[in-house]
Structure 1
């Protein structure tokens, strides 16, 4: 995601590219499906965090001086270059552990978002649009996780219905 992809007035981000390793180099490529290329609304919490991050990145740019490489990316190294996936993981692990999230992978945050949206009774086709799945079945089969609590609630509802 680049800063130019954020529409601050409309509070949206346009998903236009993804970073992939091609011939050993991180390159921006077009997302794999048409539905992956999308505009996603941003909640105020994200807008605030992005504004704060932009200020922090400006400080990093000043500190880096001539070493800074202007890529336009929102999330970069201390010198402006794209973050290597292995470095992202090394940064993620201490944050994850401090938050008590167990062995959660960084990508599992996406699964958690889908699961929480579905738990909040957001219609599956809306969740599908947010995460950019080509098919709602992917959203439901791969990303929707039913917790023991969800299962218990469903069976309690069934019990209430059967009891009359």
Structure 2
């Protein structure tokens, strides 16, 4: 179910903005190269002729970039979970994370997308231990 919040603009992190600017430069180059064959779709990620990108080609290009970067491969969808987990690790309020991820209910954000990192779990247990130790004194 779409909500009004799902359409509201959000600021992009600098790294995302930089990546989109690079993509724009590549797309402008593709437009020049395609000349009269370019099809304007308004999409950001397109084929070299401006058409909607075939998902299998997108995944192949994504995999090539992951390999070139030397990072562990996660699915494009898995990046949403990574974002949710990073927001939780940064102590971003769950309601805020819900809005960033454009979920209509917090249960989806917290139960499906957000994992607790080992570091966060250890930190929580240290805090609990400290609190219990102070009360036992």
* Shorter-chain TM-score range: 0.7 to 0.9
Does structure 2 conserve the Cα–Cα contact (< 8 Å) formed by 1:70 and 1:80?
yes
After superposition, the CA RMSD in angstroms is 1.7
Q: How many residues align?
A: 133
CA deviations on 1:71-122 (whole Å, 9 max, x unpaired) are 1111111111111211111112222234444341111111111111111111
CA deviations on 1:105-154 (whole Å, 9 max, x unpaired) are 11111111111111111111111111110101111111111122221111
1:102 aligns with 2:72: yes
Partner of 1:47: 17
Does structure 2 conserve the Cα–Cα contact (< 8 Å) formed by 1:38 and 1:132?
no
- Ranked by relative contact order (alpha carbons within 8 Å, sequence separation 6 or more), the top structure is 2
Q: Which runs of 4+ in 1 moved over 6 A?
A: none
TM (norm. structure 2) is: 0.86
Does structure 1 conserve the Cα–Cα contact (< 8 Å) formed by 2:89 and 2:117?
no
Larger radius of gyration: 2
Runs of 5+ consecutive residues of structure 1 not aligned to the other structure: 1-31
TM (norm. structure 1) is: 0.73
Q: How big is the shift at 1:42?
A: 1.5
Runs of 5+ consecutive residues of structure 2 not aligned to the other structure: none
Q: How big is the shift at 1:47?
A: 2.5
User: Counterparts of 1:87-126 in structure 2 under 5 Å?
Assistant: 87-126=57-96
